[in-house]
Amino acid sequence: MQATLTARCVRPAGVRPSAAQRARLQVCAATHEIAVLSGDGIGPEITAATLPVLTEAGRAEGEEFAYTEAPIGGAAIDATGDPYPASTEEVCKASDAVLLACIGGYKWDTLPNAQRPEKGLLRLRSSLNAFANLRPAVVLPQLADASTLKREVVEGTDILIVRELVGGIYFGEPRGFKEENGERVGFNTMVYRESEIERIARVAFEAAMKRGKQLCSVEKSNVLEVSQLWKEVVTRVAADYPEVELSHMYIDNAAMQLIRNPKAFDTIVTGNIFGDILSDEASMLTGSLGMLPSASISEPGKPGIYEPVHGSAPDIAGQDKANPLAMVLSAAMMCRFGLNLPKVADRLEAAVTAALDAGYRTGDIMQPGCKLVGCQEMGRVVLQYVEQQATAKA
């Protein structure tokens, strides 16, 4: 996949610039190749609101983005019969980063398991070996009252959950159904290798070093052998990070403490299924899934996947009610963790904060005295604040 000439151009997969265009690119600043997977439901809406904001934030720092669209999930099923077609995999592997909106919807719920949209997401993660999922849960002061918990419980919460993403019970074999003693039995296998545990542990320790230097490893070692191995390996890796305070907690206790005293946590590392549960629980501390980004990263030099935590919300799709801020913040995580563009990330995050400070709210985070706006308008407001930053800098 070749770079396009302008960050404002969104091209379909397979369209490449001419040789003359590629030659001119050689004397220009590097263009960051972004695979854009808008997916299903509200995905196209929040994508459309986000790309101009990302483009402008990049322009202000002298950076260009080239966007190549490709289908995934239900949209890919409708177009090709496959939730993750080979053409999409090719685009993603050739990119510098993957910006994903959301997938799934009621339309595809009756399909066989192997053909459902969610399989496309699992295959995307596996194909890029995106083994580490970073899920921040930060309670912004402007939205502390939007949480279902008391302000004094959640205000100041700043948690990063590091979840192993391509192993564990979601991928373990054997799995399936069988007949036993005259009835159907469903079974799955939870398995982790030492190498898989060590690499996710190192990602978590490195993240903790950049934060509060506290890491809590969550497992169920009082019952599960796989968790006993997890605890042993994480403890061993801790010797390489003497500045980080390591603690261990059973998953059931962690789920309780996350609600009881969320500010006690800084960085959490855990396996796939436990991380799936804890990260969704932590997201509700903030008051809305519409505010939460995530990053799924691979080995250095390989593209990561950056996506909002929320789902495709088919019940509000096409109604201009979606909150695009998690998508904008996912783009910020992409710039910070995937493209090494911290100044662009800072601009995006500052623009989101400015929009909230000015009282703009989508329906999911609406509060008394604030201004209700739709997805498109929220995108325009954030873009306006990015442009104001650029003007002030100039």
Residues that are catalytic:
170, 220, 252, 276, 280
Question: Cβ neighbours of residue 72 under 8 Å, at least 6 residues apart?
Answer: 37, 39, 83, 84, 88, 100, 103, 117, 120, 121, 124
Q: Show the CA angle centred on residue 106, arms to residues 328 and 364, nearest 5°.
A: 40
What's the burial of 53, exposed, middle or buried (CB within 10 Å: 0-12/13-18/19+)? buried
Closest CA relative to residue 169, chosen from 214, 219, 124: 219
Please list the residues that pair with 65 across neighbouring strands. 32
Segment 80-83 long-range contacts (CB within 8 Å, at least 24 positions apart): 81/115, 82/115, 82/120, 83/115, 83/116, 83/117, 83/118, 83/119, 83/120, 83/121, 83/123
Question: Helix, strand, or coil here: 100?
Answer: strand
Question: Cβ neighbours of residue 132 under 8 Å, at least 6 residues apart?
Answer: 162, 163, 164, 165, 199, 200, 203, 296, 297, 298
Q: Are the C-beta atoms of residues 385 and 351 closer than 8 Å to each other? A: yes
DSSP per position, 327-366: HHHHHHHIIIIIS--HHHHHHHHHHHHHHHHTTEE-GGG-
